Amino acid sequence: MRRQPKARSTKSKARLEAYDALASRVSRVDKPLGSVSLKGEKMQRLGSSVLTCEGITVEVGGRPLLRDFSCELVRGARIGIVGPNGAGKSTLLKALQQQLPLAAGSISCGETVVFGHYEQDGLLPSPDQRVLDIVQEAVSEAPGGGEDAAADERAASALMTRFLFPRSRWYARAEKLSGGERRRLQMLQVLARQPNVLLLDEPTNDLDLQTLAALEDFAEGFEGVLLCVSHDRYFLDRVCDQLFILPEPSEAEEGGAAVLAWTGRFSDYLEWRDETAARKAASAQAAPAAPPLPAASVPPPPAAAEPSGDSKRGKPLSAFEARSLERLEAELEARAEAQREMQARIAGFDPVKHGYTELAEWNTQLDVLCTELEQTEEKWLELAERA
């Protein structure tokens, strides 16, 4: 919306309407979720001593992913773990639980610490297990559970209701669940055990909007320690106030870069990183030019290159480009309307009338529509900025 050219603010109504509709939906997202809020969910008691790492090094396949890493986790800490793929983010979560051998260093863990680990791999329940049985088993392992089967079942039923599982799915077999339902059930299974150190590995993958809102609501009121691996800027900004930023795997192997501890939001770090990269690039450009080559070795002038996007930007639209701009505006409106219709169909999903396979197909179609709309917008912007 900020890139919308002022001279064409009356054009592309589809983009403006789509933005207003989305902003309105986001502003109201909390209202229908009163019944699925997880605030006040129980947590096992956490003592003053939580977890301390002293110069740990973790190797996988003979190569170091983490080198000489130290940290101290205190009650109330909310830490995001970010870095490129393969940097060892998931490995760090397993190392903190002492599930991996250390090549160097040590980890000390408080006696009252109870880990809850939401993993990327997801649930692997027995195919014939029912949803209610899985949740009831998790409830029985929490403090106060396992003594009365009827009480455990009531607690499991309450949890499933708050986590958007309709009664018609309580007795479904695990093998019948969709991918999104399995991820939601996995999150519910972790929280039912009342952990006081919660480890979330890519929690925003495959969770629907309402479940994510409930999870964010829970994380804000969580009094234990939260560590979250994610690439989702919005989720990290809302949930975490510290970051562990892991270096590139090649840098870790060479021992040239350590984990960066950052206090602040993920958006603040990205802004600082981009500004630092821009300053380095400007300094490199300002460096003294190399001495000229001898006349005999001066290469011939290059062939005329195609005008760059920057040079094109200052030129007025040709007649063909003007017609293309009008065509793109019509395409934007049509694609936005198709996107709204598909979103309304998904929002009105009824498991009694439609199967979850059909819902998955709708979500796939919506992803395609979103991609096509984004590509069309980019083409429209390129021409609209010159109009």
Tens digit of pLDDT for each residue in 340-364? Answer: 888 888 777 776 677 667 777 888 8
- Higher pLDDT among residues 261 and 8, named by residue: 261
The yes-or-no verdict on residue 312 having pLDDT over 90 is no
**Are residues 260 and 245 in contact, defined by beta-carbon separation less than 8 angstroms?**
yes
End-to-end CA distance of the chain: 17
The yes-or-no verdict on residue 314 having pLDDT over 70 is no
Structure tokens at 315: 């030129």
The yes-or-no verdict on residue 47 having pLDDT over 70 is yes
Which pLDDT band holds residue 78 (cuts at 50, 70, 90)? very high
Report the share of the chain in percent with pLDDT over 70. Answer: 77
Mean pLDDT score of the chain, rounded to an integer? 78
Structure tokens at 264: 């602040």
What CA–CA distance (Å, rounded) separates 359 from 351? Answer: 9
Which pLDDT band holds residue 37 (cuts at 50, 70, 90)? very low
Which pLDDT band holds residue 80 (cuts at 50, 70, 90)? very high
Residue 117's region, left for phi above 0, alpha for psi from -120 to 50, else beta, is beta
Query: Model confidence over 169-223: pLDDT tens digits?
Result: 888 888 888 777 888 888 888 888 888 899 999 888 777 777 787 788 778 778 8
DSSP 8-state assignment for residue 298: P
The yes-or-no verdict on residue 294 having pLDDT over 80 is no
Mean pLDDT across 72-76: 89
Lowest pLDDT segment from 31-35, 48-52, 220-224, 359-363: 31-35
> pLDDT value at position 243?
94
Query: What kind of fold does domain 51-114+196-272 have according to CATH?
Result: Rossmann fold (3.40.50)
> pLDDT value at position 244?
93
The yes-or-no verdict on residue 98 having pLDDT over 80 is yes
Which pLDDT band holds residue 7 (cuts at 50, 70, 90)? very low
**Are residues 237 and 259 in contact, defined by beta-carbon separation less than 8 angstroms?**
no
Query: Model confidence over 221-253: pLDDT tens digits?
Result: 788 899 999 988 888 998 999 999 998 877 656
What CA–CA distance (Å, rounded) separates 48 from 324? Answer: 65
- pTM for the whole structure: 0.62
The yes-or-no verdict on residue 46 having pLDDT over 50 is yes
> pLDDT value at position 349?
73
Tell me whether strands 115-118 and 104-109 are parallel, antiparallel or unpaired. Answer: unpaired
